[in-house]
Amino acid sequence: MSLTPEQAAALSAYLFERAGAWYLDPSSDAVRTAGTVLRGLAFLAPVLGTAAAALPAAADVLDARSLVLPTPAGPLVIVGAADRADPARFAEAAVGLAVTAAGLMKVGEVQSIKDYLGSGELRAVREAHVRAARGFVRYLLTGAAPTVDGLVAELVADALLPIGDDEVKLARGSLASAVASIVEENLAPPVRAALDALAWLRQHAPEAIVAEPFKVGA
Amino acid sequence: MLTLPRGALALAAMLALACSPSLPPVAGCTPGAQRCHDDAPEVCSASQRWEPAGTVPCADVGGVCVVRGAIARCGRAPAFGGPAAPSGDASAPAALDAAAAATDGGAS
């Protein structure tokens, strides 16, 4: 039986809570209002100059892309509409966002931003952890085993900032390790949010796990 | 692809210049090499630093770090009385390059 939308929402909330993040549903009134306001403020372009041009773009981001934003109150997770298209994708996106949020909490928001923007190496490491967790949850819920090439391609395509060749090689090594753990050893990758997702699914939605080695009692 | 506003990029650049990224120390390892360290897989970066291939040790996933076919990963712990798992840095199989194994002491 597939993961239901309610289960996906509950799993996501659990993962975000475990990661120390707070969460806004893009379909919520608050976020829809924010998007409307951002688009509406575009008329201020003559006053605000180039900054105003970013406002509609920011509103579009709320629709299209999932984000983790550092805030004084802790990481804020926004799951984009595309990632909520179906429960399995929602769960997969949530575990990736939880990895990012946990990273923010671990080293602090300012340091995390510096790491991500200032070092392609650290960017590759963080993105590889995200991809490992996402690939694992996708495997759990769909049975599609992750491959190193597939995860690397997704990493390169989805990274917020470009990742250089050396960093892609580093990410490939990290993902080869994760895929070996998952596919050859039948273990979760050593990423906290992936473990949290597996534990939650086994307890609350065991019927949604279709990857044989990870079913309850396997 | 997301386009960052110019102001955000400027702020990011200022932050990046103000402080250093929290990179691990240079270990002199061979780029691409892998090892187990403190029960966790690590990968050697192009800058010859050991970078973690995860966020928790293998014990947390019910396994133990092993190196097989030059790939460090979390693997099943050997059954009691079975062959020892190559879990330590120095006990990694020959596929793990010698340079990486030789630098383990100063890599953490």
> Whole-prediction pTM value?
0.79
Minimal C-alpha gap between A177 and chain B (Å) = 5
ipTM of the complex: 0.84
Residues in chain A with CB shorter than 8 Å from the CB of B40 are 190
Q: Which of residues 17-36 of B touch A (CB under 8 A)?
A: 18-23, 31-32, 34
Q: Is the pLDDT of residue A39 over 80?
A: no
Asked if A58 is an interface residue toward chain B (Cβ–Cβ < 8 A), one would say: yes
Q: Which pLDDT belongs to residue B104?
A: 43
pLDDT of residue A113: 84
Rounded to a whole number, what is the distance in Å from the CA of B84 to chain A's nearest CA? 16
From residue A115, give the alpha-carbon distance in Å to each of A74, A103, B42, B94, B101.
Answer: 17, 10, 18, 34, 27
* Rounded Cα distance, A181 and B70, in Å: 13
Question: pLDDT of A85-113, one tens digit each?
Answer: 899 999 999 999 999 999 999 888 888 88
Is A167 in Cβ contact with B16 (below 8 Å)?
no
Partnered with residue A201 across adjacent β-strands are none
Q: What does the pLDDT read at residue A138?
A: 98
Radius of gyration of chain A (CA): 18
Q: Please tell me the predicted confidence (pLDDT) of residue A120.
A: 93
| Least CB–CB distance from A57: residue in B3, B31, B74 | B3
Average pLDDT over chain A, rounded to an integer: 87
Share of chain A above pLDDT 90, in %: 61
pLDDT at A108: 86
Closest residue of chain B to A214, computed from CA coordinates: B61
With an 8 Å Cβ cutoff, are B19 and A114 in contact? Answer: yes
Alpha helix (H) residue ranges in chain A: 5-18, 29-40, 45-48, 50-64, 87-107, 109-118, 120-142, 148-158, 165-179, 192-204
pLDDT in tens, A180-196: 999 999 999 999 999 99
Q: How far off is chain A from B48, nearest CA to CA, in Å?
A: 11
Residue A144: its pLDDT value, please?
97
**Which of B4, B55, B60, B87 would you mutate first to test chain A, the one with the most A CBs within 10 A?**
B55
- Contacts of B25-28 with C-beta under 8 Å, sequence gap 24+, read B25/B49, B25/B106, B25/B107, B27/B103, B27/B106, B27/B107, B28/B99, B28/B103, B28/B106
For testing contact with chain B, the best of A65, A130, A187 (most B CBs within 10 A): A187
Average pLDDT by consecutive 10-residue portion of chain B (108 residues)?
53 58 94 98 98 98 96 86 46 36 36
Please list every residue in chain B whose beta carbon sits closer than 8 Å to the beta carbon of residue A65: 2
Test A181 with B23 for CB contact under 8 angstroms: no
Q: What is the DSSP string of A11-58?
A: HHHHHHHHTT-EEE-TTSHHHHHHHHHHHHGGGGHHHHTHHHHHHHHH
Read off the pLDDT band of A80 (50, 70, 90).
confident
pLDDT tens, position by position, A122-167: 999 999 999 999 999 999 999 999 999 999 999 999 888 888 999 9
Residue B73 touches partner A, C-beta closer than 8 Å: yes
